[in-house]
Structure 1
Amino acid sequence: MASNLDLDGIDADISADSIRAVADSLGISRLDDSALRALAEDVSFRLKQIVQESSKFARHSKRRKVTTDDFDRALQQFNLEPIYGFKSGEFMPFRGAIGGGREVHFLDDKEIELSDVISTPLPRLPSDLSLRAHWLAVEGVQPAIPENPPPVSVEKLKEESVNRPQNLKPSSRGVPPSLLSALGLTGTAVGTTTTTTKGAKETSEKDAKADAKKGEKQKKEDELLEEKFKEYVAHEMSGEQQLYYREITAACLASGDTRKTSEALQSLSLDPGLNQMLPKFTEFICEGIKQYVIQKKLTSLVALVKMIKALLSNKNLNLEKYIHKLLPAVLSTVVGKQLCARPDENHWSLRELGAQALAQICKSFTTTSTALQSRVTKLLSKILADDSSSLPQRYGAMVGLCELGTDVCKNVLLPQLPHEGELLRKAQNSNSEPEKTMSITIQKLLQNHLGPIIVTLQGPPDVPDVYRAEYGFLGPNLCNYVSTKLRAAHTKTQQRLQLQKKAGICNWQTSLSEQVKQEKQKHAPSQQPQPKQPTATATQPKSNPLPSLPPPPPRTNTSPSKPTVPLSTINISDLN
């Protein structure tokens, strides 16, 4: 079939003679001209494809020349084995030769003497790769081994970071001592260069001028280094931002104008362009809380905590970089020992505001790596475990745990209830009126937050002695709270069931009247004249009798003295 092909018009870049030469080298001699020409056409097509793909690789690599690597990648693109032994990073010139009417291109290989190759010493074998483990630190101490860097004492680090300008020489001020030691300049004056000749008492004027020029040059270099290693960079704000900052801070701390304060807090919670001013606001809040806690200014502390809550509620701000400053300030307002000048001031509201801000921080910035909420919970639990903590501190720790959620209250605060009850009993039996007032406030807090949890956990019977044995001094009050909540929930459930029953009776009566009306209309006589019959004997046909009415629902005794609804039908939502 190949002999019948008309291949005269095929333009092949690879000649049939080249195909015949390759076939002869492989031991194939019986190939006619048509097969050779068909193979030449196919080989030319495949080569054009590969060259085209390799040129694409070169073009995507921003190169104009096609390399052997591009050709190998093109072969791999067509799932072909790459050609080995022709990889070179340099240009390989081909030389041409003409002989016997044919042109041949070849590489000009250099002739190498075999004796030189044999006499050449073998290169050194490379060492095997190996891994060796060493300790970076053992129980916080760095081992003195060559693999570890030389240890630097904490005092030296503090000296370099805090008191850097005082401990440096005038010629090297602004440059850390560690950098000077790395440059080999420790103990030498960088800016002084003197040239002395043996046996000469005075330097020449020429040398003095040269030294002066070198000193000026070195002084300029020292000034450049001092600018380069400047510790603090001033945070600049535009004039509008400075005006906004002054107005907002003044409005938030203004105790007389409530409308202006609310507008300022609303701006902090909604304005999306405050990211550049966050460092200033954070510094203002943290320094203000530190100062007002010492001065015991309750009103200013409340205003600053409200500013923190406003910034936390702004969804356009990223406060993650400033949490390490805000969290200690918020904790100071929650568990501070004394936040007001007089004990009769309402510092409880400040602690509650701080607890809400603390819970918001834990909710927004707790991750698996930081474990912020668990660390805050441990800190508040330590305050409760310390008997030397004052009652206001314990109140702040309790309200902070309550704001963190029901699970924290149930797992942390509820087991601590007998111990807290004993402390409250001692405070109420004391002769100090402020302590009695504080203990009553803490008792109300525990009752309001732990009572609903105990309602769901504690089973019947609700006996004060049982509650006292389990919860200590606060047991009878909690028992009274649980009983009151259960009675209120029972009353709500009973009223709801009565309303449902009344609605069911009304619906039954309405449907019954409609059904009777429909039956009357269905069996009413037609309008055609019919013979008159006596009224006494006029009855409905027996074939279509009226349907029997369903019996009314049974009535139940709904007197309040004898409840008919069991406690198991009470919903949990009614307890609130």
Structure 2
Amino acid sequence: MSIFPSASIEEYANTVGIKELPEDVARLLANDVEYRVRELVQDASKFMLHSKRTRMSVDDIRNAFLLRNIEPVYGYDPTDGFSFVSMDVKKKDTEKTVFYISERTVNTLDCLRTQPDPLPAIETFSSHWLAVEGIQPRVEENAAEVAREEMSVESASKPFEKEEVREAAVKKPLVQHTLTRELQLYFDAVEDAVVSCDKAKGEPVFVAVMSDAGIQQLVPYFTQLIADVVTKNLRRLCVLWSAVSLARSVLANRHLCVEPYLHQLLPSLLTCVVGKSLCEDVEREDHWALRRNAAELCAQICSKYGSTYETIVPRVTKTLSKGFHDREKPLTTHYGALYGLSCLSDAAVDRVVMPGIAGYVEWLATAEDCAVKERVVQLARQLYEAWRERGDSAEVKLAGERLGAFWK
């Protein structure tokens, strides 16, 4: 027996003009209606389950209609409940009860008197600079940033209370970067290898860092470790060597993305290039190789990422140029600056070093540190010879005449 009574089918037939519908036909149509309704309910329940809901909505029924290419029924609000009204129908000496949805009568005049809802705003778009070189411009579109700055100015002008100072002191970052136990042990092994100055322990660790693919989460910790080690061990050559070796391994690992951390890595490498003193005994310990190694890494970073980040090469060139032109700097800094510029490019040497090479060598002649001076003079002469091979201009000849006496 169908859940739809045949009387309902007969009433539906009457609405479309079929006055006398046989009982057998009405029963067959009721069974077919039940089958179709069950199909729609099953399809609607699938939409409900995929939406992570336990209650079926009108939208689910509508989607089920659309799935079967049936025009959906319009005019039903999912927030309104349906009120069914019963009606007794007499036919062939039998009385049956039929239920239907009562339709509310709407007065057209009431609709005309009702204030219409306001039209939505027209969607438009415009372009503006969100940030330029990491600095957010003070424009109307960046009102949130402007309001935050004004708030900070107001708070700065107001004297701090003791409770406010205490609250500011115990603030913690909102996001905590947690490491797994395995990554924590891995980082501890790398840190121990960097600080221990043991080549037998450090070499296998650095080789592993160079090839491991699952240590991307440790990259910010590696850059911070390199920065801390370089800052706190400026006189320990072996530790600085380990820090530069770790930086080389991180840069050589093709599985790691180091671009977001270049701004932390470059200052540490440049410190190893132009640092005043990187060891206890400048004349006996081979800190020159450390400077050359760090300079080559800086040049590698500039060559690989210079086209993507246009400020890297100018910033590195400016730092090295400052170390070269400052006569108050020690000769060890001058050596690192010269070698770093030579690693960057021939254009950097031609633009920064060569215009004043004659005066620079004359100044070197007056330097007192003979052991270090010989290395700086030798490097300057190599750069000049390479410059002379690249071009035979009047400027090159004039510099050669002035330098002739010093090369002997």
Instruction: Give the structure-1-normalised TM-score.
Output: 0.49
Mapped partners of 2:142, 2:222: distance in 1: 47
Tell me the CA shift for residue 352 of structure 1.
0.3
Letter in 1 for 2:295: A
Mapped partners of 1:334, 1:444: distance in 2: 18
Letter in 2 for 1:174: R
Mapped partners of 2:373, 2:59: distance in 1: 87
Counterpart for residue 61 of structure 1: 51
Mapped partners of 2:67, 2:237: distance in 1: 76
Counterpart for residue 358 of structure 1: 298
1:174–1:361 distance in 2 versus 1, CA, 3 Å: farther
User: Does residue 24 of structure 1 match 2:22?
Assistant: no
Letter in 2 for 1:70: D
* 3-state SS of 1:331 partner: helix
Q: Residue 58 of structure 1 contacts residue 64 of structure 1 at CA under 8 Å; is this kept in 2?
A: yes
Equivalence map 1:209-228=2 (5 Å): none
Counterpart for residue 270 of structure 1: 208
Tell me the CA shift for residue 280 of structure 1.
7.3
Counterpart for residue 80 of structure 1: 70
Q: Residue 338 of structure 2 contacts residue 379 of structure 2 at CA under 8 Å; is this kept in 1?
A: no
Mapped partners of 1:63, 1:322: distance in 2: 44
* 3-state SS of 1:105 partner: strand
Counterpart for residue 151 of structure 1: 149
Question: 101, 104, 115: which is aligned to 2:98?
Answer: 104
Q: Residue 292 of structure 1 contacts residue 301 of structure 1 at CA under 8 Å; is this kept in 2?
A: yes
1:270-317 superposed Cα distances (whole Å, 9 cap, x missing partner)? 166988987776556434433444xx5555544543344355456677
Mapped partners of 1:111, 1:249: distance in 2: 84
Question: 327, 330, 340: which is aligned to 2:269?
Answer: 330
Letter in 1 for 2:289: S
1:432-470 superposed Cα distances (whole Å, 9 cap, x missing partner)? 65545422223225657x79xx6xxx6xxxxxxx72536
Higher relative contact order (CA 8 A, sep 6+): 2
What is the CA RMSD across the aligned residues, in angstroms? 5.6
1:465-505 superposed Cα distances (whole Å, 9 cap, x missing partner)? x72536446779xxxxxxxxxxxxxxxxxxxxxxxxxxxxx
1:320-363 superposed Cα distances (whole Å, 9 cap, x missing partner)? 67544432121112123554677645443221021133245556
Mapped partners of 1:301, 1:400: distance in 2: 17
Mapped partners of 2:352, 2:315: distance in 1: 17
- Is the helix fraction higher in 1 or 2? 2
Q: Residue 174 of structure 1 contacts residue 230 of structure 1 at CA under 8 Å; is this kept in 2?
A: no
Counterpart for residue 355 of structure 2: 419
Counterpart for residue 126 of structure 1: 118
Unaligned 5+ runs, structure 2: 402-408
Counterpart for residue 231 of structure 2: 290
1:423–1:270 distance in 2 versus 1, CA, 3 Å: farther
Tell me the CA shift for residue 246 of structure 1.
7.8
Letter in 1 for 2:40: I
Letter in 2 for 1:251: S
* 3-state SS of 1:328 partner: helix
* 3-state SS of 1:266 partner: helix
User: Does residue 91 of structure 1 match 2:84?
Assistant: no
Letter in 2 for 1:84: Y
Tell me the CA shift for residue 403 of structure 1.
3.8
1:152-208 superposed Cα distances (whole Å, 9 cap, x missing partner)? 487888999xxxxxx8645555324xxxxxxxxxxxxxxxxxxxxxxxxxxxxxxxx
Mapped partners of 1:475, 1:396: distance in 2: 23
1:378–1:80 distance in 2 versus 1, CA, 3 Å: farther
User: Does residue 306 of structure 1 match 2:245?
Assistant: yes
Tell me the CA shift for residue 60 of structure 1.
3.2
Mapped partners of 1:122, 1:362: distance in 2: 69
Unaligned 5+ runs, structure 1: 1-10, 161-166, 177-225, 253-259, 459-465, 477-576
1:235–1:121 distance in 2 versus 1, CA, 3 Å: closer
Letter in 2 for 1:264: G
Letter in 2 for 1:349: A
User: Does residue 469 of structure 1 match 2:394?
Assistant: yes
Question: 366, 380, 385: which is aligned to 1:442?
Answer: 380
Q: Residue 383 of structure 1 contacts residue 389 of structure 1 at CA under 8 Å; is this kept in 2?
A: no
Letter in 2 for 1:467: D
> Quick one: percent identity of the two aligned structures?
21
Counterpart for residue 196 of structure 2: 251
1:317–1:269 distance in 2 versus 1, CA, 3 Å: farther
Mapped partners of 2:131, 2:240: distance in 1: 44
Q: Residue 467 of structure 1 contacts residue 475 of structure 1 at CA under 8 Å; is this kept in 2?
A: no
Letter in 2 for 1:105: F
* 3-state SS of 1:174 partner: helix
Q: Residue 424 of structure 1 contacts residue 439 of structure 1 at CA under 8 Å; is this kept in 2?
A: no
Mapped partners of 2:271, 2:199: distance in 1: 23
